[in-house]
């Protein structure tokens, strides 16, 4: 797919959505190129890739979702936010606050309004235990070390997770999003997977 916003950025959101909410049945996406030409030292060049995309998602469970990705957002480099709203609560993660999770429970009394911040740098958190003292947080680089440790933990006796099948499922959903954006219609993932 090259460097579309779906292939470059959206793939990470779809990977996370599958892990958090399960299989995706259908998508309705849109993509746009806002900057049609870029200046180069030897003149101008026509832009052949989109600047932004978004999609509505239908999960197999009946849940609904949205994803949005853009190459440029002024004063917001590498922002990544995930919000899950359900009948019993809300979870919110903001990449800019990497060591926090915000939570709200429907079981809380009406006087408890808003979300509660959960800090994840306590040694009881599995990804914080082997890093810095409490309160220091786990950084961007440390997360890659944790990811590699997770992959190698089961090797060579057990299969890696995620595996190739998961990767292929993510790619199929991104392809469905590309087809949807170019055809201006809902696309079932089964159209891609056969």
Higher pLDDT, 188 or 160: 188
Give CA 122 to chain center in angstroms. 25
Chain mean pLDDT for the chain: 90
- Whole-number Å distance between alpha carbons of 102 and 59: 23
Distances (CA, A) of 162 to 15, 159, 177: 10, 9, 21
Q: In this structure, which topology does domain 5-193 adopt according to CATH?
A: Dihydrodipicolinate Reductase; domain 2 (3.30.360)
Q: How far apart are CA 137 and CA 158, in angstroms?
A: 30
pLDDT at 2 over 70: no
- Residue range 88-107: average pLDDT? 93
User: What is the rounded average pLDDT of the residues 168-177?
Assistant: 97
Whether 187 shows a pLDDT value over 60: the answer reads yes
Residue 42 pLDDT > 80: yes
Output the pLDDT for position 34.
92
Contact criterion met (CB below 8 Å) for 3 and 49: yes
Output the pLDDT for position 147. Answer: 84
Give the percent of the chain with pLDDT over 90: 57
Instruction: Tell me which H or E stretch contains 163.
Output: none
pLDDT at 38: 87
Higher pLDDT, 31 or 156: 31
**What is the DSSP code (8-state) at residue 74?**
T
Residue in 177, 164, 169, 163 with CA at minimum distance from that of residue 194? 169
Is it the case that residue 28 has pLDDT exceeding 90?
yes
Average pLDDT over residues 96-121: 91
| pLDDT tens readout for residues 135-169 | 888 888 888 888 888 888 888 898 888 889 999 99
Each domain of the chain, given as residue ranges in start order, spans 5-193
pLDDT in the model for residue 1: 45
- What local confidence, expressed as pLDDT, does residue 143 receive? 83
pLDDT in tens, 44-67: 989 889 999 999 999 999 999 999
- 3-state SS, residue 16: helix
Q: Please give the model's pTM, rounded to 2 decimal places.
A: 0.86
Average pLDDT over residues 9-15: 94
């Amino acid at each position: 797919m090259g460097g579309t916003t779906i292939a470059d950025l959206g793939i990470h959101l779809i990977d996370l959505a599958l892990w958090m909410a399960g299989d995706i049945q259908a998508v309705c996406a849109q993509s746009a190129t806002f900057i049609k030409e870029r200046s180069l030292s030897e003149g101008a060049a026509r832009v052949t890739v989109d600047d932004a995309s978004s999609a509505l998602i239908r999960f197999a469970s009946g849940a609904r979702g949205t994803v949005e990705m853009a190459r440029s957002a002024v004063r917001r480099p590498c922002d990544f936010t995930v919000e899950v709203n359900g009948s019993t609560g809300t979870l919110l993660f903001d990449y800019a606050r990497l060591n926090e999770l915000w939570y709200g429970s429907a079981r809380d009394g009406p006087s408890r309004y808003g979300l509660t911040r959960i800090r994840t740098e306590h040694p009881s958190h599995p990804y914080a235990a082997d890093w810095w003292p409490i309160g220091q947080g786990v950084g961007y680089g440390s997360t890659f070390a944790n990811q590699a440790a997770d992959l190698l933990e089961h090797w060579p006796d057990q299969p890696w997770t995620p595996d190739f099948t998961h990767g292929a499922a993510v790619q199929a959903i991104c392809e469905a999003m590309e087809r949807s954006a170019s055809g201006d219609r809902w696309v079932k993932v089964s159209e891609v997977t056969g």
